[in-house]
Amino acid sequence: MIDPAYRKKMVVVEGSYAVAHSAKVCRPNVISAYPITPQTHIVEDLSQFIADGEIPNCEYINVEAEFSAISALIGASAVGARTYSATTSQGLLLMHEALFNTSGMRLPVIMTVANRAVGAPINIWNDHQDAISQRDTGWIQLYAEDVQEACDTLPQLYKIAEDNEVMLPGMACMDGFILSHVYEPVVLLEQELTDDFLPSFQPENVLDPEDPKTFGAFAAPDTYEEFRYLQEQAMQKALPKIEAVAKEFEEVFGRYHGGLIDGYMLDDAEIIVMSMGSILGTIKNVVDEYRAKGEKIGVLKVRSFRPFPKEQICKAVKNAHAVVVLDKNISIGTNEGALFTETKSCLYNSKVRVPVIGYTVGHGGRDIPVESIAKVIEETKKVAKSGITVESQFLDLKEESL
């Protein structure tokens, strides 16, 4: 049960408002974004804050498209500004080229992605295809389970990304509509606590006419490889920072959503359901029902998709009899979701031997009711008993529409 004193701090607001408020208390210096459903309310609320003079020392740059939004932030971040944006779906895809630049120039730009499907066919509803399709751009990606986590992830992400050993951009992913448009009780991040937790941005290298430097310059074959290596090293260094920052956040704010991963009923679990984002809440409800019947089912939440927590995943699933991975995305041509593929990949050269199956679920906002989660768990129980028959498949496919 929630402590009454803590409850008093909670308010019922829309997810987008709570996230915009969280971005505000992180004290950004430059915000640039282009409205796109279902991210629009976040940037509307932020422009309202700006118009009301509630974000000191911050400029909101209006742009004509997402490519310009990210480009403006690249410039701003390079001179040492803390920067924020929010986007989704086609907007994120339009940023794609510049996402590589942001990471390659080692600029800790932070943005919220209100995850949405990508076209064609056009679809405004939630899945993770937009962000997963950016997995190789060199951005940290953290996925939130509820509105509170979507809020709490922002200051954490700034702290991780702006660490001098990391210096990489980051996406705070939250399920579009499901979290961006829901009203639920949250604690709006306190300015004072956020100031205690998140120091100002102090980059070692900035663009400065007094001390000229070049960012993102030409790199010939004799140097390019080392840039890429250092980017990967930075991502590896982010792994322990994500864990440490989550704990520091807990010390200051009293909330913990997991570090790289988080477990629910995991310690003795024979069947493990793995996933990312808001679907975890529904899965936990179903797992509670199984536990009430004495069945050892657990949930492995993957919070950090980039960097990918190989070691933590191997450790978490090592005693399970079978694992099922639910992905709200698909790599067309593999018939697999990314979390499933990468989970199998990290287990292959480890000593862990556990059967893993995958489902791609919730495409374009297809609802995932509790019955479907139970169906998946029943299938995984069969795998634990007699092995894999179907390695990866779509969930709740309407055969009659094909």
Using CB under 8 A as the criterion, which residues of the chain lie in contact with other proteins when the complex forms?
1-2, 10, 12, 14, 38, 124-125, 146, 175, 177-178, 181-185, 278-282, 284-285, 365, 367-370
Q: Which is nearer to other proteins, 323 or 368 (CB)?
A: 368
Which residue, 69 or 144, is less far from other proteins as judged by CB?
Answer: 144
- Residue 322, φ and ψ in degrees, nearest 5: -160, 150
Residues 326 and 292 sit within 8 Å (Cβ to Cβ) = no
Q: How far is the C-alpha of 271 from the C-alpha of 294, rounded, in Å? A: 12
Q: Considering beta carbons, is residue 158 or 264 the nearer one to other proteins?
A: 264
Least distance in angstroms from the C-beta of 255 to other proteins: 12
Q: Specify the residue, 176 or 358, whose C-beta has the smaller distance to other proteins.
A: 176
Which positions ≥6 away from 1 have C-beta within 8 Å? none
Give the distance between the most distant pair of CA atoms in the chain: 69
CA distances from 77 to 1, 6, 67, 118, 136 (A): 42, 36, 15, 28, 21
- Closer CB to other proteins, 124 or 354, in the complex: 124
Taking the complex as a whole, the smallest distance from the CB of residue 54 to other proteins amounts, in Å, to 19
CB of 279 to other proteins, least distance (A): 6
As a whole number of Å, the end-to-end CA separation of the chain is 47
Is 245 in a helix, a strand, or coil? helix
Say how far apart CA 146 and CA 225 lie, in whole Å: 39
What 3-state class would DSSP assign to 382?
helix
Residue ranges in 105-220 assigned as alpha helix (H) = 129-132, 147-161, 191-197
User: To the nearest whole angstrom, how small is the minimum distance from the Cβ of residue 365 to other proteins?
Assistant: 7
Residue 80 — left, alpha, or beta (φ > 0 → left; ψ -120 to 50 → alpha)? left
Nearest residue (CB) to other proteins, 184 versus 248: 184
Q: Measured from the CB of residue 118, what is the shortest distance to other proteins in angstroms?
A: 17
C-beta of 180 vs 312, nearer to other proteins: 180
Query: Nearest distance from residue 10's CB to other proteins, in Å?
Result: 7
* Nearest distance from C-beta of residue 252 to other proteins, angstroms: 21
